Homo-oligomer: A and B are copies of this chain.
Amino acid sequence: MAEKKQRSIEECSIWDDARQMLKKARQDGVETVWDRLDRQTPHCKFGESGVCCRNCTMGPCRISKKAPLGVCGADADVIVARNFGRFVTGGAAGHSDHGRDCIEALHAVAHGETEDYTIRDEAKLLRIAAEVGIATEGRDLLEVARDLAAEFFENYGSTKNELSFIGRVPEVRRKLWDRLGVTPRGMDREIAEMMHRTHMGCDNDAANTMLHAARTCLADGWAGSMIATEISDILFGTPKPCKATVNLGVLKEDQVNILVHGHNPIVSEKIMEAVNDPALVQLAKEKGASGINLAGLCCTGNELMMRHGIPMAGNHLMTELAIVTGAVEVIIVDYQCIMPSLVQVGECYHTKMVTTADKARFTGAEHVRFEMHNGAAQARKVVRMAIERYSLRDPNRVEIPEGPVEIVTGFSNEALLEALGGSLTPLIEAIKAGTVRGAVGIVGCNNPKYKHDYCNVNLARELIKRDILVIATGCVTTAAGKAGLLVPEAMKEAGPGLQEICGALGIPPVLHMGSCVDNARILQLCALLASELGVDISDLPVAASSPEWYSEKAAAIGTYAVASGIYTHLGHPPNITGSKIVTDLALSGLDELIGACFVIEPDPFAAAELIDKRITAKRTALGLPA
């Protein structure tokens, strides 16, 4: 059989920095995600359509014309629904276990078990505590924090049966959830029940299983993720607009380069402090570097960028390529979305991969366990390790793309409100007038099946042209940033209405709202808008989109968005096409049931058209000009 032709570098990515590094990777003999994708193509059709079941050893089974039922009797609908249920549960578990780590940090701070972390946003602590019913008046701050940690832990248990933030959900939607039986009880409980339901011989009704998938994801959106976001703000500061830079050009040839990758700021914040430790900076200089340079990747990069303007080296498909620069001493990771290949790519250069969480070890990486009481010390250890490795760098193999791009970041809801002058009224008036016709959150990942960032960027461009405000999180941030859309000057690419409001407020037409868990900020914003307008979230002229998604978390986010009433575009479907019932439910049935559904469209221009149509319909229904 003839060897398959490697795809051209131009087909892989729209970016110069990516292409330059892909060329170098090929010269250096480094295998990348695109090479592996080529070898894994074509994918298994049973897996892609969701009709393969491995949930017991009477199988594995595959549904086909010849074998329309699994050994137990499950049909394609049941199998697809079960697989989808477990798929989104993996995503919900990722976010919510991250949220649990945040609660543990808050608990440790509140109980004086650590000196490495502290309350940075006291006002937010008090505000959130009061919101969830904890007395704050005249109480010691740590006492309030103790109660808040305890309250949040209850969201993961079996006894409370109500999420702390349920009050944020418009009442009309809460009632709908109750009617459908999808009001989430406890985060972990929904996860465990989803795993139980999908065991052989439990839930064998596809629609019923899909409803529980929605419930599990709602717990993710309104508890797991939301708790992660709110505690991160309390512990590390609520983001405010600030400037930063993106692309591989943020790496520095004459400095010790350290990359942080993963999701939880608990590790990356300490690394940031350590790189600013004068003694370590001095050590770096002694080793011949002019300083220590920290840059982010993926969502932990978003967290540091949102709060501190730390530069962002790249998104999901740039993580291997960042190492290919040959200029990275250490890459420090916590968990999620970290390609295991990074260990091997690092070994091709002098780059050491350091893992920090017991739940995310990588064979071949060095493990430096970060715990609540030793975060600062461990961070210094890792930074020292990076400095020591600087001398191992081979200058002849270093090549750093030029020209980092400027961005503005830091649009938490608090910051957005401040930019709006303290209330949502200006935004609501603009929406009513049609100056801003609607808003779309473009979120999620890269996937090598797409030309890297082509859809992310073009969809954002198409929407702002149509006077639709775009909110970016996760890996879409870097895409929008590199395209120059995250600065106020990008308003010139926007339609006249959006241009006007961006000009008046001095904000970009694409607002960076954070990491993947921070999609909870978007949920909260939608809920605030709906409540202000006295309507359900599903009545708003808003949508969500994940054009180049790849992860279980993205599927969970999409599912909680839809179940919260937000029309959600995906570039490609999850592995559900083998079931007509599940596919119909996702693409239309849910619209009747829950007021929103998924729409699948790989082309960003066609997707913009579909989203625009939906926003127009919602505007018309609200009696607003189209």
Contacts and interface: CB of A to CB of B under 8 A. Distances in A.
A201 B338 contact: yes
Interface in A115-173: 150, 153-154, 156-159
A62 interface: yes
B200 A56 contact: no
Contact of A550 (B57, B194, B206): B57
A344 B91 CA distance: 34
A334 to B, nearest CB: 9
A130 B292 CA distance: 59
A187 interface: yes
Given A93-B196, A202-B94, A204-B360, A60 B72 contact: no
A560 interface: no
Interface in A542-557: 549-553, 555
A360 B103 contact: no
Given A33-B72, A191-B192, A196-B335, A39 B67 contact: yes
A67 B199 CA distance: 30
Interface in A269-292: none
Interface in A392-444: none
Contact of A197 (B74, B158, B360): B360
A336 B553 contact: no
Interface in A41-100: 43-44, 46-48, 52, 54-62, 66-67, 69-75, 77-78, 83, 86-87, 89-94, 96-98, 100
A358 to B, nearest CB: 7
Contact of A54 (B194, B208, B553, B575): B575
Contact of A359 (B59, B153, B196): B196
B156 A72 contact: no
A196 B97 contact: yes
Interface of A: 33, 36-37, 39-40, 43-44, 46-48, 52, 54-62, 66-67, 69-75, 77-78, 83, 86-87, 89-94, 96-98, 100, 103, 150, 153-154, 156-159, 181, 186-189, 191-206, 208, 212, 335-342, 344, 358-363, 447-449, 549-553, 555, 572, 574-575
